Amino acid sequence: MSDDGYPPGIRQRPWSPPPGSATIVLVRHGESMPEHPDHPHPTRDGHVDPDLAPHGHVQARLVADRLVGEHRAGPPFDAVYVTSLRRTHQTAEPFVRDTGLEVVEVPELREVHLGEWEGSFRERVVAGDPVFLEALEAQRWDVIPGAEPAEVFHDRVRSGIERIAAAHVDGRVVAVLHGGVIGQALSIATGSGAFEFAASDNCSISEVVVLDDGRWRIRRFNDTAHLTSV
Mean pLDDT on 91-112: 97
**Is residue 144 in some structural domain?**
no
Q: Which of 220, 146, 144 is nearest to 189 (CA)?
A: 220
**Is residue 18 in some structural domain?**
no
Q: Which residues of 210-226 are buried (b: 16+ CB within 10 A; e: fewer)?
A: beeeeebbeeebebbeb
Over 60: is that where the pLDDT of 23 sits?
yes
Q: What is the pLDDT of residue 81?
A: 98
Q: What is the pLDDT of residue 215?
A: 96
Q: What is the pLDDT of residue 85?
A: 98
Contacts of 38 (CB under 8 A, 6+ apart): none
Over 70: is that where the pLDDT of 16 sits?
yes
**Is residue 42 in some structural domain?**
yes
CA 213 to chain centre: 22
Q: Which of 53, 28, 47 is nearest to 119 (CA)?
A: 47
Q: What is the pLDDT of residue 22?
A: 98
**Is residue 190 in some structural domain?**
yes
Range of the domain at 201: 30-80+94-112+150-172+184-206+217-227
Over 70: is that where the pLDDT of 230 sits?
no
- Number of domains present in the structure of the chain: 1
**Is residue 141 in some structural domain?**
no
Q: What is the pLDDT of residue 5?
A: 75
Over 90: is that where the pLDDT of 171 sits?
yes
For 181-216, the pLDDT digits (tens) are 999 999 999 999 999 999 899 999 999 999 999 999
Q: What is the mean pLDDT of the chain?
A: 95
Half-sphere exposure of 75 (CA within 13 A, CB side): 14
% of the chain surpassing 70 pLDDT: 98
**Is residue 223 in some structural domain?**
yes
At 87, is the pLDDT very low, low, confident or very high (cuts 50, 70, 90)? very high
> Within 10 A of 42 (CB to CB), how many other CB atoms are there?
10
Over 70: is that where the pLDDT of 1 sits?
no
Mean pLDDT on 90-110: 97
Q: Do residues 33 and 50 make contact, with C-beta atoms less than 8 angstroms apart?
A: yes
- pTM here is 0.94
Over 70: is that where the pLDDT of 229 sits?
no
**Is residue 132 in some structural domain?**
no
At 11, is the pLDDT very low, low, confident or very high (cuts 50, 70, 90)? confident
Over 80: is that where the pLDDT of 82 sits?
yes
At 55, is the pLDDT very low, low, confident or very high (cuts 50, 70, 90)? very high
At 8, is the pLDDT very low, low, confident or very high (cuts 50, 70, 90)? confident
Q: Which residues of 90-109 are buried (b: 16+ CB within 10 A; e: fewer)?
A: bbbbbbbeebebebeebeeb
d(CA 142, CA 154): 12
**Is residue 16 in some structural domain?**
no
